[in-house]
Amino acid sequence: MTNKKKVLLTGSAGFICSNFIRKAIYEKQPYTFVSVDKITRKENTLGNIYKNKDHPFYLADITDSHIIDIIFESEKPEIVINFAAETAVDNSLSNPNLFITSNVLGTQVLINAALKYGVERFVQISTDEVLGHLTNENDLPWNEEALLNPRNPYSASKASAELLIKAAHQSHGLNYNITRSSNNYGPWQTSEKLLPKVIKCILNNESIPVFGTGSQIRDWTYVRDNNAAILAILEKGKLNETYNISANQEITNIELIQKVCNLMGRGHDLISFVNERPGHDFRYALDCAKIRELGWEPKYKLTEGLTETINWYTRNNWFLK
């Protein structure tokens, strides 16, 4: 029997990683998984822990170098995928120190352990937001060579993590990949994010807050497509390369909210426009030609993905409470 590579996943109770674990184990991908999460939002994330006899889980903080060293010593992972991050831009404006601690210091702690224990590959899950924003609807999408230009504490912390990984490659030979994905959506996402917040408001007949006029443009990718792309990078991706991941489905925030209302058959009267957030990014868009060379293609059209997502939250309304 072929030995499977062991993968350490951080942030496993988070939205994207919890979906990744379910997908990879269900599909019997050729890896074994061990995961880490500090569980800061127990009311939401306890339900995200995927329980499986072949999936050990550690309750730990990636900024704790002592416990991370023990986990690496015990588990001896060959690959690390760092999903762990504080991610809400609004929260980063009010508490930037939290984001610097988790996203920057936490990444460096993982890098130190990866180097100490000879990890073969370090995969950093990043975001298109590290590139700033596009100011025009007709601007060309970013490719992987676009310059980092973060505009808030969250994106600055994620850009810093990318730079630390590249520095570890140059200084110590750490092999890496960086993924930059567009806005993800799907099951198991907490209600601080736009789509589950809108669905929650409609289910509870509450006001749906919209910044400004809702004209901001985002590029939406179903979480299962993003995770399929990450698996493709593990299988076929070139070491020490960055890959953009996007379904290339741009839509304004207000159009997205109206689309959700249409799919749920109600909610238009709940839309309420509030003051624009300072420094709110206008548009994100990614050129994904590079990852498509690996044979990856998004499978979910926006309407299909939204329908699945709405149905999941409607069936699992407990998750939004």
**Tokens representing 31?**
């890896």
Q: Which of 37, 129, 162, 281 is catalytic?
A: 129
- Residue labelled with tokens 């058959």: 265
List, in sequence order, every residue forming a beta bridge with 260; answer none if it has no partner.
none
Q: Which of 61, 78, 128, 250 is catalytic?
A: 128
Q: Is the dihedral of CA 153, 157, 163, 167 positive or negative?
A: positive
Taking every pair of Cα atoms in the chain, the longest distance, rounded to a whole number of angstroms, is 60
Fill in the DSSP letter of residue 136: S
The region, left, alpha or beta by phi > 0 then psi within -120 to 50, assigned to residue 82 is beta
Per the CB < 8 A criterion, the answer to whether 115 and 43 are in contact is: no
Q: Is 31 a catalytic residue?
A: no
| Closest C-alpha to 217, from 138, 158, 145 | 138
Fill in the DSSP letter of residue 11: S
Q: Which of 37, 61, 86, 154 is catalytic?
A: 154
Q: Is 154 a catalytic residue?
A: yes
Q: Is 284 a catalytic residue?
A: no
**Which residues are designated catalytic?**
128-129, 154
